[in-house]
Amino acid sequence: MAQWSKLLERIDDYRWRLPRSYKKGMRTDGMIFADEQLMEIINQENAVEQVANVAFLPGIVGNSLAMPDIHWGYGFPVGGVAATDAEEGVISPGGIGFDINCGVRLLRTDLTRDDVSGKIDKLIYALFNHVPCGKGKEGFIKLDKNKDLARVLQKGARWAVEKGYGWKEDLEHTESEGCMKEADPEAVSGQAKHRGSDQLGTLGSGNHFLEIQVVQEIYDEEAAAAFGVEKGQIVIMIHTGSRGLGHQVATDYLRSMETARKKYGIELPDRQLACAPVKSQEGMDYFGAMAASANFAWANRQIIAHRVREVFEQIFGKSAESMGMNLIYDVAHNIAKFEDYIIEGKKKKLCIHRKGATRSFGPGSAELPEAQRNVGQAVIIPGDMGRYSYLLKGSQSAQDASFSSTCHGAGRVMSRGEVIRKLKGRDVAEELSERGIFVRGASRQGLAEEAPEAYKDVAAVVNTAHGSGLALRVARMKPLGVMKG
């Protein structure tokens, strides 16, 4: 049994404290959001050790936080959240991750399950042909890496809409309106730009997906109505990020941050947490490059959403507008944002690291679309491709509990190598077909790596988020058709 497991203090049904006395040098406590069932799973790996390591970051404010879907990651655990003082603290690429602004976008429709009956396979095949997927796959948009790409990195989803890939209303329903204004294209390396120049409008591989889902259950009628969701309705979920560009940015700055860490005399228990002061040149360069990568991801998801609408128009012979294919919301994972919070009675600007975590703003936030301001932000939590996903709403209580953050998905329980070994000889697509879910992937191995048993049951993760007030249940969706990278 790990030493930390003996020191964990259970606060209530959904919170566990790891006291700073666990390791000399921890500047604050760790706080893990999990019910008893999830804690048993978390105890089987060492992600809690990473929660303790994050507590060493200079300028950390509040606790080192772990969301209910926590699992081992690079530097921070996946599901890790930490706030640092924007003036005196640090920024760490390990607290954002390699797939910068990997995020989820949810489109509603006026279609019902009956409308798509007998058409799911056609839709998935058409989507597969219309949205390139798989490792290193190129898109249909070719960008000049010096001129066109710089505009994408600067403007994000707005660039895509201006080019005709989507609707102006989409921007209003995207976190930060699909653009971080702090983006600095000059801080992005030539290699990163080269990797991204032909990848706009592509899904990628790994856990990225495109799903056609049916709304199975409504838990909150008021919020569901505000989001435009009702039982029996067809929705489409898109999960992808900044592709090779964001990965290269993370790789580039992890190297420079290790040099910066030594330069500024920062001592840490794990070199994967390499960081620099937020206000240093190294810190500002990384933030500018990260913001540019986030903008690339928003443009990418915007273009994919446009292509999805085109496929539905082709299959149903109707316009996307007449089918009510509006964007409910687009949320970012793997990102750092400057946000204001009241700390010890004073307003303070913080750098919020969310890695494998998503924003969860409660009612009243001026950043939300008008339709969501009275109920809270739409929070999208994908599960695995064999069970279900959830739509939640942001909670006011999350502001104090987690710097307005919540979980981002189910969270893995098996590595890709482990699940491949366990599923040897099994056909995941065939098994899912027998359960009424049509699946097409870029490769058989890719599907096996993403088999449902590789993930926690997302219902347990969502129950903890709901019970602890990090985000509140609105609706549950079941996959009907899945396209995997």
pLDDT tens-place string over residues 356-367: 999 999 999 999
Instruction: Check: CB of residue 332 under 8 Å from CB of residue 103.
Output: yes
Instruction: Check: CB of residue 385 under 8 Å from CB of residue 439.
Output: yes
Residue 18, phi-psi category: left (phi > 0), alpha (psi -120 to 50), beta (remainder): beta
Instruction: Check: CB of residue 176 under 8 Å from CB of residue 291.
Output: no
- The Cα 20–Cα 139 span in angstroms is 48
Predicted confidence (pLDDT) per residue in 146-177, tens digit: 789 999 999 999 999 999 999 999 999 999 99
Kindly list the catalytic residues.
Answer: 408
Q: Is the pLDDT of residue 2 over 70?
A: no
Chain Cα centroid distance, residue 306: 20
Q: Is the pLDDT of residue 100 over 80?
A: yes
- The Cα 147–Cα 142 span in angstroms is 12
Fold topology of 3-484: tRNA-splicing ligase RtcB (3.90.1860)
Nearest to 193 by CA among 238, 246, 229: 246
pTM, two decimals, is: 0.96
**Structural domain boundaries in the chain:** 3-484
The pLDDT of residue 145 is 63
Q: Which residue has the higher pLDDT, 45 or 275?
A: 275
Segment 73-77 shows an average pLDDT of 95
Backbone angles phi, psi at 242, to 5 degrees: -95, 10
